[in-house]
């Protein structure tokens, strides 16, 4: 069963308290808790979900009660702070755990009739025993796009950016839109520009809490920059040799900007 606690003491656990994950103090994710008696672990679980198996070993995500004692030399850390500081495979496994627990937490009751839901035993879904409605984990697709003009790239500082850096534009896909239509709408709404030659670049799951970032490249087609002041603090064209502070490595935003740098310098 997807939500049932496995009493196999060799299983790996990714443990959360609220939105924070338990790690060792040297910032390396710790999957097992030898400090805790495994058979008492279930007493501290708010919820758990099976993540899958890797090389025959089971992986679980679990949310612990707020009163859980932190084992020695460990701490609860915001998952976002670990991005770029631990191996990608490890981060996205932790991100998957975070996203699934968030879904579990927010789907305890049926949105159709209000009855309590149950874990569906044959797939990852929540089943309402009263009306039969099935809810799967939510994934919110969003586009992110690098817009180029010769040796320049359009970068913007968003109003929600916590750090003082510039990045490429991004936005959520609306119902009825293709990804390409979303690119055109978001660019038009946020900076007042038109784009052409939209091409798929790549994708990256972004578990904060449930996004899937779908990357594109595009070329400037016309217009003058006119920012949406609710979304953008500043935006402009930046030459490849005069880039502002940009996102850290490993993010798809950084990959798009790095693609532009290599493209411009090879021309």
Q: How much is the pLDDT for 27?
A: 63
Q: Assign 3 a pLDDT band (cuts: 50, 70, 90).
A: very low
Please compute the mean of the pLDDT values over residues 47-60 and round it to a whole number.
85
CATH class of 140-266: alpha beta
DSSP string, 33-102: -TTS-HHHHGGGEEEEEEEEEETTEEEEEEEE-TTPPPPTTEEEEEGGGGTTTS-HHHHHHHHHHHHHHH
Q: How much is the pLDDT for 228?
A: 95
- Which comes out higher in pLDDT, residue 146 or 89? 146
> Which tens digit of pLDDT belongs to each residue from 19-53?
899 888 776 776 654 444 444 556 778 998 988 88
204 annotated to a ligand binding site:
yes
175 annotated to a ligand binding site:
no
254 annotated to a ligand binding site:
no
Q: What are phi and psi of 242, to 5 degrees?
A: -135, 50
Same fold, 12-106 and 140-266: yes
Q: Which residue, among 253, 267, 262, has the nearest Cα to 154 in the 3D structure?
A: 253
Stated pTM of the model: 0.87
> Which tens digit of pLDDT belongs to each residue from 185-216?
999 999 999 999 999 999 999 998 999 999 99
152 annotated to a ligand binding site:
no
110 annotated to a ligand binding site:
yes
182 annotated to a ligand binding site:
no
129 annotated to a ligand binding site:
no
48 annotated to a ligand binding site:
no
> Which tens digit of pLDDT belongs to each residue from 129-167?
999 999 999 999 999 999 999 999 999 998 876 567 899
DSSP character at residue 122: T
211 annotated to a ligand binding site:
yes
C-alpha 75: how far from chain center: 22
> Which tens digit of pLDDT belongs to each residue from 94-137?
999 999 999 999 999 999 999 999 999 999 999 999 999 999 99
Q: How much is the pLDDT for 179?
A: 98
Going by CATH, does the domain composed of 12-106 fall within 3.90.79.20?
yes
206 annotated to a ligand binding site:
yes
77 annotated to a ligand binding site:
no
208 annotated to a ligand binding site:
yes
Q: Assign 251 a pLDDT band (cuts: 50, 70, 90).
A: very high
209 annotated to a ligand binding site:
yes
- What are the sequence ranges of the domains in the chain? 12-106, 110-137, 140-266
186 annotated to a ligand binding site:
yes
Q: How much is the pLDDT for 30?
A: 61
190 annotated to a ligand binding site:
yes
């Amino acid at each position: 069963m997807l939500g049932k606690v496995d009493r196999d003491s060799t299983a790996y656990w990714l443990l959360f308290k609220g939105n924070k994950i338990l790690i060792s103090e040297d910032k390396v994710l710790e999957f097992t808790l030898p400090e805790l008696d495994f058979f008492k672990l279930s007493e501290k679980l708010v919820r758990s979900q099976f993540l899958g198996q890797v090389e025959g070993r089971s992986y679980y995500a679990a949310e612990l009660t707020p009163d859980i004692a932190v084992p020695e030399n460990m701490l609860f850390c915001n998952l976002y702070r670990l991005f770029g500081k631990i191996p990608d495979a490890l981060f996205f496994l932790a991100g998957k755990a975070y996203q699934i627990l968030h879904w579990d937490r927010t789907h305890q009751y049926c949105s159709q009739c209000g009855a309590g839901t149950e874990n569906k035993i044959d797939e990852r879904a929540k089943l309402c025993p009263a009306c039969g409605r099935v809810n799967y984990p939510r994934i919110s697709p969003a586009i992110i796009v690098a817009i180029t003009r010769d040796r320049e790239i359009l970068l913007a500082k968003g109003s929600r950016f916590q750090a003082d850096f510039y990045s490429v534009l991004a936005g959520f896909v609306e119902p009825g839109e293709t990804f390409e239509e979303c690119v055109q709408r978001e660019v038009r709404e946020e900076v007042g520009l038109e784009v052409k030659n939209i091409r798929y670049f790549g994708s990256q799951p972004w578990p904060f809490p449930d996004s899937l970032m779908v990357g594109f490249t595009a070329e400037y087609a016309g217009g003058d920059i006119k920012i949406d002041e609710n979304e953008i603090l500043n935006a402009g064209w930046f030459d490849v040799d005069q880039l502002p502070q940009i996102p850290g490595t490993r993010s798809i935003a950084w990959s798009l900007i790095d693609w532009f740098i290599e493209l411009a310098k090879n021309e």
